Amino acid sequence: MLIIETLPLLRQHIRRLRLEGKRIALVPTMGNLHDGHMKLVDEAKARADVVVVSIFVNPMQFDRPDDLARYPRTLQEDCEKLNKRKADIVFAPAPAEIYPQGTDTQTYVDVPGISTMLEGASRPGHFRGVSTIVSKLFNMVQPDIACFGEKDYQQLQLIRKMVADMGYDIEIVGVPTVRAKDGLALSSRNGYLTADQRKIAPALSKVMNVLADKLQAGERNCEELIAIAEQEVNDAGLRADDIQIRDADTLLALSDSSQRAVVLMAAWLGQARLIDNKVVELAHQAG
Ligand SMILES: Nc1ncnc2c1ncn2[C@@H]1O[C@H](COP(=O)(O)OP(=O)(O)OP(=O)(O)O)[C@@H](O)[C@H]1O
Ligand SMILES: CC(C)(CO)[C@@H](O)C(=O)[O-]
Ligand code: BAL
């Protein structure tokens, strides 16, 4: 496995691989890798000849400097895991390699609508940072496919729209959320939880599943369903931040024509803001 830190070296290898006719998969990450990331690598390996994993804590997508400063950076362990998983290339650039002029004057990619709603409203500028870095990585790595986790549901929708709108010839693969045995979605930020907090964290997915079951059973009073879920999350010892029921395809409010709903959960627990989501197929009565 090659570990590449500079853009010229990356370009040299990508050029060679493309000349050899290799199909390239990209797995973009911010490092501190867990089994969720490994699932993305496995999916990428199954669909391509060469897997490039990028590890870059992207300053442009952080709305809070303290969040950026304490984000876990574990490059050596990450590379060991990726080597065992048979990734081919790790691209781990320093910020100056990606943003030589800094981020303030960086040309950006903005996906209208989707980037300012929901998580985008809670984290101003976050999605502009995500679409910009992913666009840059697409140009640098020139992948045929790229894998993203469904855990970051809105991010996946954002990338799909960016790819469609900008005409990228890249297949976007969404990978189902990998969970701990107790249901907690794996996430690098789970590392901020104390042992006691870790015990109560699975309440987020439990409340989400109950809400999803009610939707599946035909309940449609979203305001009431959300209020109950917020109460349950708070009673469990988390602090509900944003719980939403949306059309899974548009992320807008549910309508009579919605085919699928998505339950989007965000809650604070100590230093960690946890997110999760679940898609529900909506039954429509004939006639
Ligand atoms: N539990 C998971 N299952 C599947 N994919 C995941 C999971 N967690 C993260 N991913 C995906 O891995 C990719 C890189 O994510 P990232 O490096 O931000 O990890 P993370 O664990 O989500 O960290 P964070 O705590 O910052 O949210 C994204 O496409 C993300 O959706
Ligand atoms: C896609 C991504 C690697 C862009 O920095 C990041 O948002 C993430 O880890 O989900
Ligand atoms: N996994 C999403 C990246 C972020 O929280 O910044």
**Catalytic sites, residue numbers:** 37
Tell me which residue has tokens 């910009």. Answer: 132
Our mutation pick for probing the ligand 2 site, out of 26, 27, 30, counting the most ligand atoms within 8 A of Cβ, is 30
- Beta-ladder partners of 268: 239, 273
DSSP3 helix / strand / coil % (the chain, rounded to 5)? 45, 20, 35
User: How many structural domains compose the chain?
Assistant: 2
Q: What is the pLDDT of residues 155-190, one digit of tens each?
A: 999 999 999 999 999 999 999 999 999 999 999 999
Query: Is residue 286 very low, low, confident or very high in pLDDT (cuts 50, 70, 90)?
Result: low
Provide the residue range defining the domain that includes 65: 2-175
The reported pTM is 0.97
The answer on 77 and 130 residing in a single domain is: yes
Task: Flag whether 157 is in a domain.
Answer: yes
Residues 209 and 111 in one domain: no
* Six token digits for residue 251: 């992320």
Which CATH number is 233's domain given?
A: 3.30.1300.10
Residues 231 and 192 both lie in one domain: yes
Q: Is the pLDDT of residue 287 over 60?
A: no
Per-residue pLDDT tens digits for 81-119: 999 999 999 999 999 999 999 999 999 999 999 999 999
Specify which residues 146 forms β-bridges with.
26, 172
Provide, rounded to the nearest whole percent, the portion of the chain with pLDDT above 70: 99
- Is 118 part of a structural domain of the chain? yes
165 by Cβ neighbours in 10 Å (0-12 / 13-18 / 19+) ranks as exposed
Specify if 182 maps to a domain.
no
Q: pLDDT band at 283, cuts 50/70/90?
A: confident
Bridge partners, 242 (sequence order): 266
87 backbone dihedrals φ, ψ, rounded to 5°: -70, 155
Inter-residue contact 225 to 203 (CB < 8 Å): no
Residue 204 and residue 278: Cα distance in Å, rounded?
A: 11
Ligand 2 midpoint to CA 165 (Å): 19
Ligand 2 mean position, distance from CA 130 (Å): 6
Task: Please check whether residues 108 and 143 belong to one and the same domain.
Answer: yes
Could you report the per-residue pLDDT of 252-270, keeping only the tens digit for each? 999 999 999 999 999 999 9
**Would you state the pLDDT for residue 284?**
74
Question: What's the whole-number average pLDDT of the chain?
Answer: 97
196 pLDDT tier (thresholds 50, 70, 90):
very high
Of residues 284 and 61, the one with the higher pLDDT is 61
What CATH number is attached to the domain comprising 77?
3.40.50.620
ipTM of the complex: 0.98
Nearest to 52 by CA among 189, 167, 170: 170
Q: Half-sphere exposure of residue 13, counting CA atoms within 13 Å on the CB side? A: 20
**What ligand has the least distance to the C-alpha of 189?**
1
Distance 195 CA to ligand 3 centre (A): 23
- Is position 181 within any domain? no
- Residues 122, 247, single domain; the answer is no
From 175, 209, 233, the end of a domain falls on 175
Residues in contact with ligand 3 (CB, 6 Å cut-off): 61, 152
